[in-house]
Amino acid sequence: MLFITASRRNRLRNQPFPPAWERILEQEVPLYNSLPLTDREELKGHILVFLAEKQFEGAGGLVITDGIRVKIAAQACLLLLHRETDYYPGLSSIVVYPDEYLAPFEELDETGVVTSGTDRRSGESGEQGTLVLSWADIQMAGVDGDGAYNVVLHEFAHQLDAEDGITDETPFFPRRAVRKHWQRTLEAEYVRMKEEVGRGTVSVLDPYGAESPAEFFAVATEAFFENPRGLKEHHLALYEELSRYYRQDPATWPATISIGGTS
């Protein structure tokens, strides 16, 4: 069974990449243009597998187009470069809303009181194999200068976290010493972030990362790819750990050129 999956994926990766999709990458995915050429080829192979295996569903009246599928797949697969991957095995479908959407929530406070209602969301990495995204928010990535907002990277980082047990202390790295170092660095940086957010200090990291270790990892992933030089300058240890984890060094890539307009 595993062999069949591996050979099917191999076949998919080696199919010609549609020129129309290549144009979407060049015109709509700023990070793609920063990638080293060999990484672009690897990424395109991953996109072919990802799009063959994942279902996309439009919600709130949104019609799914190749532009939407390719843009999401490219950024999701950027996190998978240079490693053995099972292509987010826990994920089967991606639901895309035109904009922020309302979702029900239930919260339990320290006194045991449950509050419920609805809140506005730009994305969520849900259970039961579904990931939800707002298309308006996806389009905000890479257009805010030094900002690091990228909802696709954020939600797929949650997928990797759940898969690899990064922030729940499940062993991930095979060598204990490496794993310990990684956890110590992430914990120290998380504590630092909570202190900085408490003091109101402006950081290259989105203050939302102070919510929990899982949000911190997702926010740090956004900054690692969207503002790598800023992250490296202000959080060198964190940058180096993420560079080891993602097996990439985006601070050496040419600066992302903002891409205007659509075609």
Q: Contact residues for Zn ion (CB under 5 A)? A: 215, 218
Residue in the block written with tokens 């999401």: 72
CA distance 163 to 90: 8
Nearer to Zn ion, 52 or 140 (CB): 140
Nearer to Zn ion, 152 or 231 (CB): 152
Give min distance, CB of 172 to Zn ion, in A.
19
The residue whose Cβ lies closest to Zn ion is 218
Give min distance, CB of 199 to Zn ion, in A.
23
CA distances from 11 to 5, 8, 15, 121 (A): 10, 5, 7, 37
Residue in the block written with tokens 């506005």: 120
CA distance 42 to 81: 7
Q: Give Dmax over CA atoms of the chain in angstroms.
A: 58
Burial class of 261 by CB neighbour count within 10 A (0 to 12, 13 to 18, 19+)? exposed
Nearer to Zn ion, 21 or 216 (CB): 216
List of E strands, 18-100: 55-58, 93-97
Give min distance, CB of 153 to Zn ion, in A.
11
Nearer to Zn ion, 137 or 215 (CB): 215
Cβ atoms 250, 225 nearer than 8 A: yes
Give min distance, CB of 208 to Zn ion, in A.
7
Nearer to Zn ion, 78 or 153 (CB): 153
Give min distance, CB of 71 to Zn ion, in A.
19
